[in-house]
A and B are shown apart, each in its own frame.
Chain A
Amino acid sequence: MKKHPMLKYLKEEGPLGPRMPLIFCPGCGSGQVLNYTLHAVDRVIQEDGIRRENFLFISGIGCSGRITSHYLNFDSAWTIHGRAPAVATGALLANPAFKIIVFTGDGDAGSIGGNHFIHACRRNIDMTILCLNNGLYGMTGGQHAPTTPIGTITTTTPYRNREAAFDLCKLAEVAGASYVARWTTAHPRQVIRSIVKGIRKRGTAFIEILSQCPVHERMSPVAILKRFRRDTIQIGKARESAERKTTIGEFCDLTKAEWNESYQGIIDQFLINSDTANEQIVD
C-alpha cells in the first residue's frame, strides 16, 4: 500500500494515539503550505546533504501555528503570539548551523508580531519566514485583519472593509530582508522553488503565500484557488498591465551581510587581537 511521499516527515502516531488527520478545515491552505514546505525541505536534504536534525521549525499562534505543534517529525517549537522570529533569533544564537523555518500568519506577522517581524528583517537574521496570508483572523472567527483587502466582507466588517491593507512584502523589503517573494497556494512549483531559495539564502527570506480560508470566505477551496489564478499577475507583467491585480513573484533577491556572520567579524577581530597580545606577553 502506497502512502503520500511526504508522510515520512510527519508523525502519524503519537504517545496518546493517532495525530493525523490534520486539524485544519477541509481545503485549508495551511495543509497545502505544509505540503509545499516538506517538498522543499526534501529537495534541500537530498541535494545539499543537510541533515534532518539541522532543521528547526518555529511558529506563533493562529491556524498557521498549528502546523508545527503536532505533526512535524523535525525539531519544532510552538511559541508565543507574534514572537516566533524572536525565538528563532535565540535558537540561531545557540546553534548557527540551524536552518530555521518560521511559520506565521498574517495576524501573527502583521499585527501583534509586527515589531518582531520587521526587526528580524532589519537585522537580516538567517531564517526563512513563511507567512500564510488569508486576509482575516481565521482561528478566532473571521474578524478583519490588517491584511484584509478593501471592500471585503468579514464578520467584523459586515458593510465591507474600508481600511487599507498592509503590504507585508513591501514592508519586509524596506525593512531589509534579503529575499522577498509572494505567491499563492495555487502556485505550488513556484512556492517550492522560493522556499528552496529561501533556505539556501544567508539572511532573512520572507515568502508571503496567499492562502484560502474556505470557512470564513464562504467559498469552496476550488473556487478560491481559481480566483487566485485569475486575480494575480506576475511582477514582470504587472508594470505593463493597467489591470489592478495582486502582484506575485520575487520582489528582491540580494546578497547582504548576515547577522551572525557580521558579529563573527567582531569575535574574530578580538581573537586576533588577543593572539597578538599573548605573543607580546611571551616576547
Chain B
Amino acid sequence: MNKLWIDERYCKGCLICVDVCPTKALKASPEINAKGYILPTESDMERCKRCGLCELMCPDFAIAIEEGED
C-alpha cells in the first residue's frame, strides 16, 4: 500500500489534491489545524495508484506519495 505524506508546515488547505485524485484516495480532514487550515487526509490508500497528480498539482509542495512494498 502506498503511503501518504503531508507536510503540515507547508500545506495551506486548498484541497486541490482531494479534487484531482481520480480514485478518491484522499479526503478533507474533519479537523482544523492550528493555522486554521483544513488539511487533506487519506480516505482509502488501498485505492491509490500513485498516478502523481496530487504531487504535480500541489501549489505548496506539501504532499508526496511514498511507494508501498506490494
Set of chain A residues within 8 Å of B25, measured between Cβ atoms: none
Set of chain B residues within 8 Å of A1, measured between Cβ atoms: 5
Set of chain A residues within 8 Å of B20, measured between Cβ atoms: 225
Q: Are A26 and B12 within 8 A (Cβ)? A: yes
Set of chain B residues within 8 Å of A32, measured between Cβ atoms: 16, 57-59
For this complex, into which size category does the number of interface residues on chain A fall?
20 to 34
Set of chain B residues within 8 Å of A225, measured between Cβ atoms: 16, 19-20
Which residues between 35 and 55 of chain B lie within 8 Å of chain A, taking CB atoms? 37, 53, 55
Q: Are B61 and A27 within 8 A (Cβ)? A: no
Q: State which of A2, A35, A188, A221 has its C-beta within 8 Å of the C-beta of B61.
A: A35
Given contacts A20-B10, A20-B61, contact A36 B56 (CB under 8 A): yes
Instruction: Give how many A-B residue pairs fall within 8 Å (CB-CB).
Output: 84
Least CB distance from A218 to B in Å reads: 15
Q: Does A149 contact B (CB under 8 A)?
A: no
Chain B: residues with Cβ within 8 Å of the partner, total of 26
Among A5-13, A86-94, A113-121, the one that faces the other chain is A5-13
Expressed in whole angstroms, the Cα–Cα distance for A24 and B12 within the complex equals: 10
Least CB distance from A149 to B in Å reads: 23
Least CB distance from A19 to B in Å reads: 11
Q: Which residue of B lies closest to A71 (CB)?
A: B61
Set of chain A residues within 8 Å of B65, measured between Cβ atoms: 2
Q: Are A2 and B57 within 8 A (Cβ)? A: no
Contact with A along B12-35 (1 / 0, CB 8 A): 111110011000000000000000
Expressed in whole angstroms, the Cα–Cα distance for A185 and B19 within the complex equals: 14
Q: Are B10 and A5 within 8 A (Cβ)? A: no
Mark B residues whose CB is within 8 Å of A: 3, 5, 7, 9-10, 12-16, 19-20, 37, 53, 55-66
User: Besides the contacts A2-B64, A39-B56, A188-B56, what 8 more A-B pairs have beta carbons closer than 8 Å?
Assistant: A3-B64, A4-B58, A4-B61, A26-B14, A27-B16, A35-B56, A185-B57, A214-B14
